[in-house]
Amino acid sequence: MTPLALDYATLIAALPKRNPLAHKGNYGHVLVIGGDYGYPGAPVLAALGALRVGAGLVTIASHAKHLVGLNATHPEIMCCAIDEIAALTAILNKVSTVVLGPGMGRTAWSQQAYVVAAQTTLPLVLDADGLFFLAQQPTQNARRVLTPHPGEAAHLLQQTQAIVEEQRYAALTQLIVKYNCTVVLKGAGTLVGSPQHALGICTAGNPGMASGGMGDLLSGMIGGLITQGLELDLAAKLGVCVHAKAGDMAAQHGQRGIIATDLLGPIQELMK
C-alpha cells in the first residue's frame, strides 16, 4: 500500500478549538519516564514537546538527583523521584498519558521502570530505550505508539538495519502487525501507520534535523497530543507533521547547527 502524504492543514484542523472557560486540567497530564544518570536532558525535551503542543500538565519521573536542576531551569515541568521504582505506580494513577524511554538507559533501574510502566492501561508512547526493552519481550497493545528510528526498528523486527532502510514500507507494516499498534518509523520521509488507518508519509523535514534530542522532542509532542484527546494515529501523524515543518522553519537560518530546542518556537507557531 502506498502511503498518503501527510497534509498539515487537514491534520491541524482536526485539533479541537479551546474552550474560553477551560483550565489546565482539561488538556491532560503527560508523564515522561526516563533520564537515567547522565541523560537528564532527554526527558526535558520530551516534556517541552508535550507542553508546546498544548498539554495541560507534564511531569518527569526520574532520579531524585536530577530534580533540583529540572525545577530550576524549567519551572513549568513538575518532577517526581522514582529512585525507588515502587513510587512509579502511585504517579501512574495521577496522569492521562505516558511517554516512556527518553534517556532511560539500560540499567537495572531502567528495566524495572519499564516493567512497571509497560503494564499501564493508559496511552503509552515508547521511544529510545523503551523500545529496546520491548524488543526483548515483544507484546501487543493497541494503546501504544512506537517511535523507532531504523536501528531500533531493526531490533524490534530482529532484522538488519540495512533491510529496514531498503524496505521501509514493508518494515512499517511488519511492525504494525507484530505489535498491533500505531508506529512511527523515523527517517527521511518518516512513515506513520496503525492497524485501522491508512499509512502516511511525511514530506517535510530536512537533514539539519539529524541531531541529538529531536526524537525525544517528537515523542513528547505525540504524547501531548494524545493527552488532549486525539486518537493515537491522528496524534502521531499530526506530531510528525508539525515536528518536521518546525524543523524546516528552523532551517531558514541554515540547516547545519539546528538543535532540538530551536523547534520549540516554530512548534508553538504551527499549533496556534
Q: What domains does the chain contain, in order, with CATH numbers?
A: 4-13+26-271 (3.40.1190.20)
Q: By the 8 A CB rule, do 152 and 131 touch? A: yes
Per-residue pLDDT tens digits for 18-68:
989 999 999 999 999 999 998 999 999 999 999 999 999 999 999 999 888
Assess whether pLDDT exceeds 80 at residue 1.
Answer: no
Q: Is the pTM of this model over 0.95?
A: yes
How far, in Å, CA of 16 to CA of 28, rounded? 14
3-state secondary structure (DSSP) of residue 45: helix
The per-residue pLDDT of the chain, averaged, comes to: 96
pLDDT in tens, 125-143: 999 999 999 999 999 999 9
Question: Which residue is associated with the grid cell 523486527?
Answer: 157
What percent of the chain has pLDDT above 70?
A: 100
Q: Would you give the DSSP letter of residue 121?
A: S
pLDDT of residue 266: 98
Q: What is the mean pLDDT of residues 98-103?
A: 98
Buried (b) or exposed (e) across 262-272, using 16+ Cβ within 10 A? bbbebbeebbe
